[in-house]
Structure 1
Amino acid sequence: MRKVILLGIACGFALLALNTQPAFPQTKEKFGPPKVILPSDDVLNQIAEKTAQLAAKIAELRKNPKHHELLPDVEIFLRGAESIVRFKEFYHKDSGKWTLDTLDRGLERAETLASGAAPPWTTPVIPNVVRGHRSSVDGTAQPYGITYPNGYGKDVDKKRRVDIVLHGRNSTLTEVSFLNTHNGKKKPPADQDWVQIDIFGRGNNAYRWAGETDVLEAMEAFFANEAKAGRGEMADRRRVVLRGFSMGGAGAWHLGLHHPDKWCVMGPGAGFTTTHDYAWKGKKALPDYQERCLRIYDAIDYVENARMIPIVAYSGGEDSQKLAADNIENRLKELKIDAMTHLIKPGVGHKFEADYFQKANALWAERAATGRSSYPNRVSFVAYSTKHSICDWVAIASLEKHFEKATVNAEITENGCRVATTNVRVIGLVLPPPIKDVTIEIDRNKVIVPALPKTRNGGVPGKTSIVLVREGAEWKNWRPGRPIEKGNIACHYGVMLQGVAQNASLQGPIDDAFASGFVCVTGTGETWHPATQKFVDAKVAAFKHDWAKHWRGELPITNEYGISPNEIKEKHLILFGDPSSNFLLANILPKLPLKWTKDEIEFAGKKFKAGEHVPVLIFPNPLNPSKYVVLNTGHTWPSEDYAKTNALLYPRLGDYAILRMTPAGYEVATAGLFDEFWRVERK
């Protein structure tokens, strides 16, 4: 493994082993709200007036479907102005001025769309621009920034590297401040030869859950827009660099190792790679169902995926967050994986200084020069959940046991491919079209895939998908090779398992439901017990506030009479109430793994008093087994944890819990994880 320690750093900085205290005193991070500097009444009145004007213009534009594609580019300005006023987030002396500018820019874009003129913000004429994409999670417009290099778009044959840049934690970050940094007035540095995409990521969440979704959707929106503008070949998908510092480093660590096939190199700086080391400075005893769920976002568990992506990391020599890179580096050394370069600047704390950025950038450019193979001959990766289980042409569609290590080593051979797995029950492969019979050697089994017939015009079909299922020690071909219409392995193989087993679409825990499209459904009737209604009302109110404040969205919510068939088809249902108050809940209750009457709740062979307890859980929706149903909760960590380190945004209740209602909130009577077939695990 290459390790660069520049300027003659002394070897007195010993590498840290996992689960040890940092070598340097931990910096006391400040996560509390900054001081509010309210604008004058005159400015606030102007903001209110222009907000109403922009809202009216957007409402008018929505009436014409031809505007829908570009509406997010306008809506981001309205959302920014509304949010900064709603939460009194005027943290800078110029926040009022920025908000007025935000509204003016939104009004200008709205007028451009209404006039039918060509929108200038969709071209590199404006080198520093902000765009919006429509989130699949809650339907809101989310911003992302683009900085084009000089000359971009003029030389059609010149492909550019694309950098996905994740910001660090910033207590003063708002949509308005983000929009202000991409106001079209800043020119790119003369030596910038890459396209830079700055991710908003829904604020300060370490790019977890809906934050992770935002990174991937913003990137896809950029590439899709470039293609529509005829610049699809100028931004190179094979040369995408993922980088970030501090919280952005934490995001780069986990996104890089979770999705190694999306990047040509990852460049994390500082951050954290284990929850225990960062949140508690050592081992903390957690319930088993919480400890296992840490494997969803602890990057250290995915270190072997560095075989598929090179790492160029940076640390300040005296930064306590250097431990993030040390953890990864030590584990890679143990595994004898030579994939990481660690740049360390002596005597520097939590700061990515310009000279070392230049050194890091030279190494990123070196690794990006050739780009990532679009179809590597070998794929080797690990997973602990089907949430993160796709790499290139291989997809783990179902595990033998979640949150235990699963491995895949696959290699293209002359006659097909050779695959070795552990803890994998269903695997999907995307292979070149088999114009002759293909032999797949997998875990000492041989599976023959017959050749596909030629197309009507005599041609050869595109890539083909094959799904293999393990039955005992034997692998069988569940889905013979068939053409993939869209050529995208990310289309989940979980379709075959819907409603039966945890899979690449549905695997829990509860918090996973809020990383893709969902809608909350409240009841209109009366609950059997006043305590239940009080609990439900508090949960809905907290979720609504937290979603807007900390996830920068609008909670999708309706009642049992307002839910549409299309929402049931396309979204996870988050049901609040009891069988008496919510008839949708009562309708699906017989197909859920619990009984709930006015007197008692029965779950996993145990009975609980209904007047004192409430169930929360996640389960395949009986009305649509390709989506979740969740009962009576939003995200499962307490609201106060948003004011602490975002390493604490991990699941607290697993897949299910029976909660004992108390005046202060609740106590956990029982909680845990379902097995691979959505049954309560046997102890």
Structure 2
Amino acid sequence: MMNHYKIRSVRGLLIALLLVVAAASPLFAQSASDEDLAKIREQRAALDKSIAELDAQKIGPQLMADVQIYSKAADWIARHSEFYRENYAKQTLAVLELGQQRVRELAAGKSPWMTKIGTTARGYVSRVDESVQPYALSMPQNYTPGSNKAWPLYVKLHGRNGRMNEVSFIKQHDNRPPESGQDWIQLDVYGRTNNAYRWAGETDVFEAIADVKSRYNIDDNRITLWGFSMGGAGAWHLGLHHPSLWSSVGAGAGFVDFYTYQKQTELRPPHQHYLLHIYDAVDYALNADNVPVITYGGEKDAQLLASTMCVAAAKKYGVNIAQLIGPGMGHKFDPESLKKFMEFHRLHSQTGRPALPGQKEIRFITYSLKYNRCEWLTIEEMPLVYQPATVTSEIVADDTLKVTTTNVSALRVDPRISPNLIIDGSSISFEPPQTDEVVWATLVLEEGQWRKLTADQAARFAENPDLHKRHDLQGPIDDAFMEPFVCVRGTGKPWSQANHDWATWTLDRFSAEFDKWLRGKVLIVDDTQVTEEMIANKNLVLFGDPGSNSLLAKVLAKLPVQWTEDKITVEGVDYDPNLHGLSLVYPNPLNPRRYVVINSGHTMHEKDFKSSNSWLFPRLGDIAVQKFTRDEEGDQYQEETVFADVFNSLWHLPSGLKPAN
């Protein structure tokens, strides 16, 4: 039997181990000292004052963002107490000084970091939430300002790092020399920290790329995408969902699905199960036929399974994905494999992608109109939501391209690809473009036959008068937060005070979670402050009920629900608004090219962001009713989903999704 001394010793050892774990884990992060916090507040205020004194109009938004990232970094680390390491307070003060140095340089009419060899931090203002977001850019040793050379771009996605924030990211990349033999510009993406480049993290990747392209001469046909661990998951996701954007894709040790990676044996309900197809990259393995892909896993790494799964899934289509396995390695590259991995990218970067309109023969698959483009073709409509839509093409004669589709009812095609298409047996001909401005042709499937729309018909089609699901207008609720949005709170008298209080709590929760986990401040306005410009350019996210929120009252008649003071009716079922909350996404009746969202932010929450990124999938589909229960303390709610579904391709219920099996 263990004596009391040994028990105390073991207990002491466990406590010591817990303290070590606590020191290493972001969940146990401590604030900086009062003295350091005071210095940070003082120096950030001084930096903000210096930035305000700059001539922003003369300097321009890009260079201003290159300075604003330093203030933003100090703001977020202090407000969220993210001093995960002992030196983070010191790093924050150093970052603020770097910001002041840039202010002095801009005030003198200079911006030396724009041409500096090696790595420097940059910034841009996101269209999503008007936040300033950082990225890092590495210029090669042979970079010459003013040269006409079109540079290849390597886009590198970082792995998950629970101690990462803007301060540590900037310091990690500050003044780093270029890699040996680097003959490309390298973009290290921040991705709004740790979300596997999903949601606004995905938008961040493309906004950062666009910002780099606007500053430097980048060769569009020579953009390499790669990453390791969470960066590998991001490479699988972005590489296979957008296959015609990259000269090659490299995925190291990143997950490719939810069920296998999380060892889940119980299926999610249909409105979650089918929506896993949005992000499960293994479902898009066919798209590796359109872009060279290489994957790596350590022999002893559990995440080697992800590589093996994708390789096997692609092989079923007769598609080859190059695979490297590090002998005896765990969750990291061995030197020889890394050398082969990067050589693969170098060779494909040298070759580059085919020039526009791209390669003629493609094989493309998608489960969502969010990811609807490959080379010269864009899928505009899918009859069945979250079912595979495929397009394949093959050359059958010098001037004829045979195209075969499944689950596709509308397409747009670059007419330069071929003068003659045979699409599912229908013959379509194109006249050669007479100008450099190419107008893509719109094709629709009607009664089993494809036909090309006239210019007037195509313009009418683009207006989407019948409210079909389209790209960026396909749901689910969470999709609304990948593009510009504004949250609108009601200021009137609620029909139900209980419902209004729950909606207010929901908005507060979304604002706090977006701030912490997606690194931006949610724009919130009163319903009386909504402008025509907001309606035209942003997704409207309305909180409250038709009594409290005048915008909700204005659009209610055109939403696919009924809502009175006494009941909320969805699919013929009545719910008590004093006990139930309604959440949905739908084309905005005030501007059908944008969404309106009712009483919801992201449908995954803090515990999911803290957990594996594979949990960051939609929870409520397009529409849900939740029973809410207020805690005894009165400041929190428990929610139970009593109804959830997705709309079909015409934004109607029922969706037609079958029980998951």
Whole-angstrom distance in 2 between the partners of 1:297 and 1:31: 30
* Cα-to-partner distance string for 1:26-54 (whole Å, 9 max, x where unaligned): xx9x9962543544433222211111122
Whole-angstrom distance in 2 between the partners of 1:380 and 1:650: 26
Residue 246 (structure 1) shift: 0.6
* Cα-to-partner distance string for 1:391-436 (whole Å, 9 max, x where unaligned): 11100011111110011113566445432111001100012299xx
Distance 1:493 1:96, change over 3 A: farther
1:64 correspondence with 2:66: no
Residue 134 of structure 1 aligns with which residue? 125
1:586 correspondence with 2:550: no
1:366 correspondence with 2:347: yes
Residue 155 (structure 1) shift: 9.4
* Cα-to-partner distance string for 1:486-510 (whole Å, 9 max, x where unaligned): xxxxxx9973326610012300000
Residue 429 of structure 1 aligns with which residue? 413
Distance 1:49 1:31, change over 3 A: closer
Residue 311 of structure 1 aligns with which residue? 293
Residue 140 of structure 2 aligns with which residue? 149
Q: 2:29 aligns with which of 20, 31, 36?
A: 36
Moved more, 284-293 or 366-375: 366-375
- Structure 1 alignment gaps of length 5 or more: 1-27, 227-231, 455-459, 484-491
Residue 172 of structure 1 aligns with which residue? 163
Q: 2:452 aligns with which of 477, 496, 508?
A: 477
* TM-score relative to the length of structure 1: 0.88
Whole-angstrom distance in 2 between the partners of 1:136 and 1:493: 27
Aligned amino acid, residue 372 of structure 1:
R
Whole-angstrom distance in 2 between the partners of 1:94 and 1:479: 64
Residue 153 (structure 1) shift: 2.0
Q: How many residues align?
A: 626
Residue 468 (structure 1) shift: 0.3
* TM-score relative to the length of structure 2: 0.90
Moved more, 98-107 or 32-41: 32-41
Q: 1:399 aligns with which of 376, 382, 399?
A: 382
1:162 correspondence with 2:153: yes
Q: Is the helix fraction higher in 1 or 2?
A: 2
Residue 361 (structure 1) shift: 0.9
Residue 402 of structure 2 aligns with which residue? 418
SS at match of 2:260: helix
Residue 367 (structure 1) shift: 2.2
Distance 1:570 1:522, change over 3 A: same
1:297 correspondence with 2:287: no
* Cα-to-partner distance string for 1:311-339 (whole Å, 9 max, x where unaligned): 1111000100111101001112222212x
Q: Kindly indicate whether structure 1 or structure 2 has the higher relative contact order, using CA contacts under 8 Å at least 6 residues apart.
A: 1
Whole-angstrom distance in 1 between the partners of 2:575 and 2:307: 47
* Cα-to-partner distance string for 1:235-292 (whole Å, 9 max, x where unaligned): 432121111111111000010000111111111100100111112x143211111111
- Contact 1:469 1:477 survives alignment (8 Å): yes
Whole-angstrom distance in 2 between the partners of 1:494 and 1:133: 34
Q: 1:508 aligns with which of 463, 475, 479?
A: 475
1:468 correspondence with 2:443: yes
SS at match of 1:133: strand
Residue 548 of structure 1 aligns with which residue? 515
SS at match of 1:213: helix
Residue 643 of structure 2 aligns with which residue? 670
Q: 2:110 aligns with which of 101, 115, 118?
A: 118
Residue 128 (structure 1) shift: 1.1
Residue 461 (structure 1) shift: 4.2
1:219 correspondence with 2:209: yes
1:194 correspondence with 2:184: yes
Aligned amino acid, residue 426 of structure 1:
A
Whole-angstrom distance in 2 between the partners of 1:77 and 1:68: 15
Where in structure 2 are the equivalents of 1:492-503 lying within 5 Å? 495-497=462-464, 500-503=467-470
- Structure 2 alignment gaps of length 5 or more: 1-20, 631-636, 657-661
Residue 84 of structure 1 aligns with which residue? 77
1:255 correspondence with 2:238: yes
Residue 159 (structure 1) shift: 4.8
Whole-angstrom distance in 2 between the partners of 1:400 and 1:615: 26
Whole-angstrom distance in 2 between the partners of 1:517 and 1:217: 13
* Cα-to-partner distance string for 1:150-182 (whole Å, 9 max, x where unaligned): 111269465543211101110000000001012
SS at match of 2:475: coil
Residue 261 of structure 2 aligns with which residue? 278
Residue 16 of structure 2 aligns with which residue? none
- Contact 1:450 1:481 survives alignment (8 Å): no
Whole-angstrom distance in 2 between the partners of 1:44 and 1:519: 32
Distance 1:449 1:237, change over 3 A: closer
Residue 61 (structure 1) shift: 3.8
When the two chains are superposed, the root-mean-square deviation of aligned CA atoms in Å is 2.3
Whole-angstrom distance in 1 between the partners of 2:24 and 2:306: 20
Give % identity: 37
Distance 1:275 1:494, change over 3 A: farther
- Contact 1:499 1:620 survives alignment (8 Å): no
1:99 correspondence with 2:131: no
* Cα-to-partner distance string for 1:205-250 (whole Å, 9 max, x where unaligned): 0100111110111111111111xxxxx1xx4321211111111110
